[in-house]
Structure 1
Amino acid sequence: MDDDDISILMELEEPAVVERGTTEVSAHKRKKTSRCWLSFKQLHVGDDQIERAKCTKCGAVYKCDKATGTGSLIRHHDLCYNKDIVVSPQSSTRSSKFSHEKFRELVVEAIWEIEKKLFSITLDNASANDSFVEKLRTQLNFRGLLLLNGKFFHVRCCAHILNLIVQDGLKSIDQSVIKIRECLKYIKGSMARKERFLGCIDQVGMGGSRRALRQDVPTRWNSTYLMLDSALFYRRALINFALCDTDFKCCPSFDEWIKVEQTSRFLGYFYDVTCLFSGTKYPTSNLFFPKVFMIQQNIQQAIKDKDAFMRQMANDMNIKFEKYWSDYSLVLGIAVVLDPRYKMDFVEWAYKSLYSADSMELKAFKDTLSSLFNVYVDKWSPDNASGFMGESCSQTEGEDAFFQDFDATYTSGSSLSVKSELQKYLDEERLDRKKKEFDVLSWWKMEQLRYPVLGHLARDVLTIPISTVASESAFSIAGRVLDQNRSSLLPETVQALLCCRDWLIGKKDQDHTDWEQLSENVLDLTLD
Structure 2
Amino acid sequence: MALSMKEKYDKYWDNLDNMNFLLHVALVLDPRNKLYYLKYCLGLIYGEPEESEEEMFESDDENLSKKGRVVKCVKYTLNELYKHYKMKGDKENDQNTPVVSSSTPTCVASRLKVDIQSGFGKYMEKREGIKNTKVDIYLRNGTERRDTKFDVLGWWKQNSEKFPILSHVARHVLAMAISTVASKSTFSTSGRVIDKFRSSLTPKTAKSLIGTQDWLRSTT
TM-score normalised by L of structure 1? 0.25
SS at match of 2:156: helix
Q: Please state if 1:372 is matched with 2:81.
A: yes
Aligned-partner Cα distance in 2 for 1:317–1:425: 36
* Segments ≥4 residues shifted beyond 4 Å: 386-390, 403-406, 414-417
Instruction: Indicate the residue corresponding to 2:160 in structure 1.
Output: 448
Number of aligned residues: 153
Q: Please state if 1:321 is matched with 2:33.
A: no
| Residues 135-189 of structure 1: CA deviation (Å, up to 9, x unaligned) | xxxxxxxxxxxxxxxxxxxxxxxxxxxxxxxxxx2xxxxxxxxxxxxxxxxxxxx
Aligned-partner Cα distance in 2 for 1:362–1:394: 51
What aligned pairs does 1:463-502 form with structure 2 within 5 A after superposition?
463-467=175-179
Deviation, 1:420, is 2.2
Amino acid corresponding to residue 394 of structure 1 in structure 2: S
Instruction: Indicate the residue corresponding to 1:497 in structure 2.
Output: none
Deviation, 1:391, is 1.2
Instruction: Indicate the residue corresponding to 1:462 in structure 2.
Output: 174
Q: For structure 1, which runs of at least 5 residues remain unmatched after alignment?
A: 1-168, 170-312, 470-474, 480-528
Instruction: Indicate the residue corresponding to 1:413 in structure 2.
Output: 121
Aligned-partner Cα distance in 2 for 1:322–1:446: 39
SS at match of 1:413: helix
| Residues 17-47 of structure 1: CA deviation (Å, up to 9, x unaligned) | xxxxxxxxxxxxxxxxxxxxxxxxxxxxxxx
Aligned-partner Cα distance in 1 for 2:75–2:89: 21
Bigger relative CO (Cα 8 Å, ≥ 6 apart): 2
**RMSD of Structure 2 on Structure 1 (CA):** 3.7
Aligned-partner Cα distance in 2 for 1:412–1:376: 22
Q: Please state if 1:424 is matched with 2:132.
A: no
Instruction: Indicate the residue corresponding to 2:35 in structure 1.
Output: 344
Aligned-partner Cα distance in 1 for 2:180–2:120: 43
Aligned-partner Cα distance in 2 for 1:380–1:389: 12
Aligned-partner Cα distance in 2 for 1:406–1:440: 36
Aligned-partner Cα distance in 2 for 1:432–1:455: 19
What aligned pairs does 1:182-221 form with structure 2 within 5 A after superposition?
none
SS at match of 1:391: coil
TM-score normalised by L of structure 2? 0.56
Q: Quick check: 2:32–2:143 contact (8 Å CA) kept in 1?
A: yes
Q: Please state if 1:436 is matched with 2:148.
A: yes
Instruction: Indicate the residue corresponding to 1:334 in structure 2.
Output: 25
Q: For structure 2, which runs of at least 5 residues remain unmatched after alignment?
A: 51-63, 182-202, 208-220
| Residues 259-314 of structure 1: CA deviation (Å, up to 9, x unaligned) | xxxxxxxxxxxxxxxxxxxxxxxxxxxxxxxxxxxxxxxxxxxxxxxxxxxxxx3x
Amino acid corresponding to residue 317 of structure 1 in structure 2: M
| Residues 178-206 of structure 1: CA deviation (Å, up to 9, x unaligned) | xxxxxxxxxxxxxxxxxxxxxxxxxxxxx
Q: Quick check: 2:21–2:73 contact (8 Å CA) kept in 1?
A: no
**1 or 2, which has the higher helix percentage?**
2
Amino acid corresponding to residue 330 of structure 1 in structure 2: F
Q: Quick check: 2:86–2:165 contact (8 Å CA) kept in 1?
A: yes
Query: Which of 383, 387, 394 is residue 102 of structure 2 equivalent to?
Result: 394
Aligned-partner Cα distance in 2 for 1:424–1:365: 16
SS at match of 2:178: coil
Deviation, 1:351, is 3.0
Instruction: Indicate the residue corresponding to 2:194 in structure 1.
Output: none
Amino acid corresponding to residue 155 of structure 2 in structure 1: W
SS at match of 2:179: coil
Deviation, 1:339, is 0.3
Segment drifting more, 334-343 vs 358-367: 358-367
Q: Quick check: 2:134–2:163 contact (8 Å CA) kept in 1?
A: yes
Instruction: Indicate the residue corresponding to 2:72 in structure 1.
Output: 363
**1 or 2, which has the higher strand percentage?**
1
What aligned pairs does 1:16-95 form with structure 2 within 5 A after superposition?
none
Amino acid corresponding to residue 413 of structure 1 in structure 2: G
| Residues 447-489 of structure 1: CA deviation (Å, up to 9, x unaligned) | 21221111100000000000288xxxxx9xxx9xxxxxxxxxx
Quote the sequence identity (%).
31
What aligned pairs does 1:155-234 form with structure 2 within 5 A after superposition?
169=1
Aligned-partner Cα distance in 2 for 1:408–1:318: 58
Amino acid corresponding to residue 77 of structure 2 in structure 1: T
- Distance change (3 Å), C-alpha of 1:347 and 1:428: same
Deviation, 1:345, is 0.9
Aligned-partner Cα distance in 2 for 1:411–1:444: 29
Amino acid corresponding to residue 141 of structure 2 in structure 1: E
